[in-house]
Structures are given as structure tokens and as C-alpha cells.
């Protein structure tokens, strides 16, 4: 079963009510989180190339959505990004995220950003830590 999910409406990445945001819509199926996105010129770091900070943000959010889909509120503790190829603007891109290992408090995740033909542009690994209840209450 495929599930579409969005939470905080003003989130920079997935918030549909954020006029300056990316408005990425995530889907969950078979333990993976995915999204398709086109990044506009306004988010370029160099002409025709998406800024590396935006690439990192997309990968981080994809991994966060993977954990969130499990009903767990968590925040990024550490993230490592490998940039394989420049990410072109105005081009259909695919994000894929998956949980590698989950414990009671720490969750390890991976995500990939690629072209529709499967060319890998960037990969990330992250550790998420479960949010304390007061923070989780504000988020959810």
C-alpha cells in the first residue's frame, strides 16, 4: 500500500502553504520513502546547478520522513552527504529514503537523490535521535 503524507504546512521542504518552500510531497511504500521534485533556478548555487545546501536539505528531510512514517518524532543528530554529480535545476529528480537500523532512541537512515534514469547525484547517511516528549508534542 502506498501512503502520501505531509505534516507541518509551513515546512520549507514539504509544507504546501510555504510560498518560498520546495513543496515536496512524500510517499511511503514497502518501507521506503520517495518523492519526485523539480528544483527551480532560485535554488541554484551556480548557474544551472542546485545549491549543495538544498541537496543536503532534501536528503535530510527524506530520511526524517522515513522515521516520521513509523510514528516516531526524531531530529537529525548527524548527517554525512556524498555529492556524486552536480544536481541540475529544472530537471525531474527522485528522492529515495530507507531506514537501515532502528533502536529505541537512535535510528540510522540512508537517502539517495538521482535523476529519473537512475543516475545517482548525491547520497546521505544520518543518525536520528528520538525527540523528547515536549518537542514531539510541539511537532505533532
Q: Summarize pLDDT for 60-79 with one digit per residue, the tens.
A: 999 999 998 888 888 999 99
Residue numbers of the domain that contains 123: 3-139
Q: How far apart are CA 24 and CA 54, in angstroms?
A: 12
Q: What is the DSSP letter of 40?
A: -
| CATH code for the domain of 41 | 3.10.129.10
The number of helix segments (H) and strand segments (E) in the chain equals: 2, 9
Residue with cell 528531510: 61
As for how many domains the chain has, the answer is: 1
pLDDT at 138: 62
Closest residue by Cα to residue 98 from 106, 113, 109: 109
Give this prediction's pTM.
0.88
Q: Summarize pLDDT for 31-50 with one digit per residue, the tens.
A: 899 999 999 999 999 999 99
Strand, helix or coil for residue 88: strand
Amino acid at each position: 500500500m502506498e501512503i502520501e503524507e505531509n505534516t507541518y504546512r509551513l515546512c520549507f521542504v514539504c509544507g504546501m502553504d510555504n510560498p518560498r518552500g520546495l513543496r515536496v510531497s512524500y510517499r511511503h511504500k514497502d518501507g521506503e520513502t520517495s518523492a519526485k521534485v523539480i528544483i527551480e533556478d532560485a535554488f541554484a548555487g551556480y548557474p544551472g546547478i542546485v545549491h549543495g545546501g538544498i541537496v543536503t536539505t532534501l536528503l535530510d528531510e527524506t530520511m526524517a520522513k522515513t522515521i516520521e512514517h513509523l510514528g516516531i518524532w526524531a531530529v537529525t543528530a548527524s548527517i554525512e552527504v556524498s555529492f556524486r554529480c552536480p544536481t541540475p535545476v529544472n530537471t525531474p529528480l527522485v528522492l529515495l529514503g530507507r531506514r537501515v537500523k532502528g533502536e529505541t532512541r537512535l535510528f540510522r537512515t540512508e537517502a539517495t537523490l538521482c535523476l529519473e534514469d537512475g543516475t545517482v547525484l548525491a547520497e546521505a547517511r544520518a543518525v536520528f535521535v528520538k525527540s523528547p516528549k515536549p518537542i514531539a508534542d510541539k511537532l505533532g
